[in-house]
Amino acid sequence: MVKFQARWMKKRYKKKKEYRYKHYSLDFPAKLNEKIEPHMNKDFEIDDFTAKETAKKEVINITLSRDKPALQSLNQKPK
């Protein structure tokens, strides 16, 4: 089971004012650790978010993607 979680974050600015916003996160089950860990330190963009609801089921699809860095040719030296 995957659960959405939300918590309030606080930041101070101008030494007096306080800015509050919600921070959302997903907790994945431990059985997915091996599949998720290789992607942990990569920056992904959200391509698509769709939500669909029927009488029996609710489905949310979040599509994440990233552009892979260009590979340098083995014969070229980096500048």
29-73 tens-digit pLDDT: 899 999 999 998 999 999 999 999 999 999 999 999 999 887 765
pTM, to two decimals: 0.60
27/60 Cα distance (integer angstroms): 15
Helix (H) or strand (E) holding 33: helix 33-36
78 or 40, greater pLDDT: 40
CA angle 49, 57, 23 (to 5 degrees): 40
pLDDT (0 to 100) of residue 70: 79
60/53 Cα distance (integer angstroms): 9
Residue 14 has pLDDT above 60, yes or no: yes
Asked if 23 contacts 6 with a C-beta cutoff of 8 angstroms, the reply is yes
Q: Distance from CA of residue 20 to its chain's centroid?
A: 21
Residue pointed to by tokens 């650790």: 33
Q: What is the pLDDT of residues 3-13, one digit of tens each?
A: 889 999 998 88
